[in-house]
Amino acid sequence: MTIQFLSFPGCPSAPGALAVLERVAAGLGVTDRIEEVDMTAHDTADALRDWGSPTILVDGVDAGGETQPNGPGCRLYMNAEGGTSGIPPETLLSAAIRRAME
C-alpha cells in the first residue's frame, strides 16, 4: 500500500492531519511508510501539485473522495456534523485505508 501525505510548508492543518493519519494507520496495523510530499518542491510530480493541502492519497486515490485535484490552496473536509475542517475525520481515513487493504 502506498500512502502519500501532500502538503505545502506552513499549511496550518498539516500537522494535525498527519497526526490523525498516523494514528489511524497504526490502529489498523499498517506498517507501510507514509510518504510526506512537499507540493511546492521542484522535484514533485506535476500530478501532485494541484491538490489542496493537506491531501492524503492511498494507492493514488484521494481519501477525501475527490476524483481529480481541485487546485492548490487550503483544503477542507466535511465532518459528520456537516461542518468543515482542514483535518480529515478519522472515519474518512479509516475507510480509505480499509478499502486499500481489501
Contact (Cβ atoms closer than 8 angstroms) between residue 64 and residue 92: yes
Using 50, 70 and 90 to split pLDDT, how confident is the model at 71?
A: confident
- Domain range annotation of the chain: 3-101
Record: fold of 3-101: Glutaredoxin (3.40.30)
Place of cell 466535511: 78
pLDDT digits (tens, 9 = 90+) for 12-61: 999 999 999 999 999 999 999 999 999 999 999 999 999 999 999 999 99
Catalogue the long-range contacts made by 60-65 (C-beta closer than 8 Å, 24 or more residues apart): 60/2, 61/96, 61/99, 61/100, 63/88, 63/92, 63/93, 63/96, 63/97, 64/88, 64/92, 65/92
pLDDT on residue 51: 96
pTM: 0.94
Amino acid at 58: V
